[in-house]
Structure 1
Amino acid sequence: MRVGAHVSIAGGVDNAVGNELDVGGNCGQIFTHSPQVWQDPNIGDDEAEEFRSMTSESLDGPWVIHTSYLVNLCTPKDGLREKSLDSMQKEVDAAAKLDIPYVNVHLGAHTGAGVQGGLENAVSVLDEIDIPDGVTILIESDAGSGTKLGGDFEHLGYVLEESEQDLDICLDTAHAFAAGYDLSTPEGVAETFEQLDEEVGLEHLKCVHLNDSKHECGTNKDEHAHIGEGLIGEDGMRAFINHDAIVENDVPLVLETPTENGKSFEWNIERVRELRNGAN
């Protein structure tokens, strides 16, 4: 099973490999810079080479780059659109430099453009990106608060269908739960995968952000909890982790769980392995 966590690149991107190994992961996710600001990735040739070498030697992979939180593909504002496009281009170029196959991005918020207008804006930005060979952009499912898009699987399906790019998706379990897809029971998990297959196609599911939720299903509130200890709960998490769509396709599970109550990534990764093996 490929399972890991979002880890820090402090001190150099090559440090992410050791950080991942420290928490027991064999795949993972990084930011190339602070996600709270507009900033270009600053990755030297030597650290990139070390990152690639250490990854090849020590991890199963894959790595995923998560884009800046400021990126908004759905925006009707020209200035923000151009900044988002520029940021996305630099992220996919960084991914190519690091031999990272995936760049993960939220669609963003339409801020008054309407759902259809926002989705069309997102497609137009994505179609302008010069994506290097070996890199795929993943559109992440969203919790759906305010005018944010991506909470409905239909939004993801539309973008993948309409874009000229070969895109795939990342499903965030806490986001999907917050958006109204009930993952708390085996029946709910099965129904959610059926809906995802119908609206998007399970062949496009290339990564999962595996997080439990501190809030009820359908609240659109995005706050992550430890695996099995939130409102998705142990039964839901076990059913999700062991679902054929995950197991048979060896979909990588990347955790963004909190560090609190004496539990961090290491505890959560071990819990995922226990639930895959059927332990209580």
Structure 2
Amino acid sequence: MLRVGAHESIAGGVYNAVDSQLDDGGNCGQIFTHSPQVWQDPNIDDDEAEQFRAKSTDNDVGPWVIHSSYLVNLCTPKDGLREKSIDSMQKEVDAAAKLDVPYVNVHLGAHTGAGVDGGLDNAASALDELDVPDGVTVLVESDAGSGTKLGGDFDHLAEVLDRSAQDLEVCLDTAHMFAAGYDLSSPEAVAETLAEFDDVVGFEKLSCVHLNDSKHECGTNKDEHAHVGEGYIGEDGMRAFVNHEAVREVPLVLETPTEDGKSFAWNIQRVKDLRE
């Protein structure tokens, strides 16, 4: 069964994300538990959580993913930022347990001078400090790879999974992969890129995909999302990706823009049309 949905707002109550998802035609999705631009704790009361769980179950919407704050930097060598990042992640995995959300998604962050190896060690050890509740899994997301940010190379993902004692899994972002230099613009490129991911990380670790086209060319390290099939990945690449055997059972979450008269609903329908 095709699981496709969007990153929905929780304005007015986290349960409203379920209604928005249904309105957009989705059956899985992603949320922030608070503004991702500030250090803030999730503020979800028991009644809200119960309504979210009930609406999701009653309407067969799931799995859901919580996306961590943009401020979290697991790779940092700075003690203060590291502690804030760990504390923020702990609150996110606890919120996920409260909501019966199986996944919390996080970017590795930037090593800011610690070096690639040092940054990966920092990330793995930070993740090891989390007390992850049963039923919740942390997903490490692929990155566009600009500056000292890690996660742009499949090797980075594999190394963190190997170095951490946590049972981590992976979220691939198609726009980020493309920006980092992994071509997805043709059926042949999709097959080659996903074969490399399987060789380095393994399809068994792939639990979610952020399905986004790219406004910039492959290898530019520029992270700007486009409507599905209308960016540089294009229709042929997106069709090949969503129909690849390794992706068919993986939930697809859209973080596409709302512009040109096209919203999440348009992009969700576009994915459904591309699926064969």
Tell me the TM-score normalised to structure 2 length. Answer: 0.99
**How much identity, in percent, do the aligned residues show?**
78
Root-mean-square deviation over aligned CA pairs: 0.5
For structure 2, which runs of at least 5 residues remain unmatched after alignment? none
Tell me how far apart the structure 1 counterparts of residues 160 and 89 of structure 2 sit (CA, whole Å): 16
For structure 1, which runs of at least 5 residues remain unmatched after alignment? none
**Who is 1:268 aligned against?**
267
- Residue identity matched to 2:244: H
Deviation sequence 1:103-157 (CA, Å, 0-9, x none): 0000000000000000000001000000000000000000000000000000000
- Residue identity matched to 2:106: V
TM-aligned CA deviation for residue 63 of structure 1: 0.2
**Who is 1:255 aligned against?**
254
1:14 corresponds to 2:51: no
Tell me how far apart the structure 2 counterparts of residues 183 and 138 of structure 1 sit (CA, whole Å): 22
Tell me how far apart the structure 1 counterparts of residues 204 and 130 of structure 2 sit (CA, whole Å): 23
1:212 corresponds to 2:213: yes
Tell me how far apart the structure 2 counterparts of residues 81 and 57 of structure 1 sit (CA, whole Å): 39
Q: How many residues align?
A: 275
Tell me how far apart the structure 1 counterparts of residues 272 and 158 of structure 2 sit (CA, whole Å): 31
* 1:105 partner SS: strand
**Who is 2:56 aligned against?**
55
**Who is 2:36 aligned against?**
35
TM-aligned CA deviation for residue 59 of structure 1: 2.6
Tell me how far apart the structure 2 counterparts of residues 51 and 112 of structure 1 sit (CA, whole Å): 42
Tell me how far apart the structure 2 counterparts of residues 224 and 60 of structure 1 sit (CA, whole Å): 24
**Who is 1:132 aligned against?**
133
Tell me how far apart the structure 1 counterparts of residues 61 and 129 of structure 2 sit (CA, whole Å): 32
- Residue identity matched to 2:18: V
* 1:94 partner SS: helix
Tell me the TM-score normalised to structure 1 length. Answer: 0.98
TM-aligned CA deviation for residue 162 of structure 1: 1.1
Tell me how far apart the structure 1 counterparts of residues 49 and 254 of structure 2 sit (CA, whole Å): 24
TM-aligned CA deviation for residue 209 of structure 1: 0.1
Contact 2:111 2:118 in 1 (8 A): yes
Q: Where has structure 1 moved over 3 Å in runs of 4 or more?
A: none
* 1:12 partner SS: coil
TM-aligned CA deviation for residue 60 of structure 1: 3.7
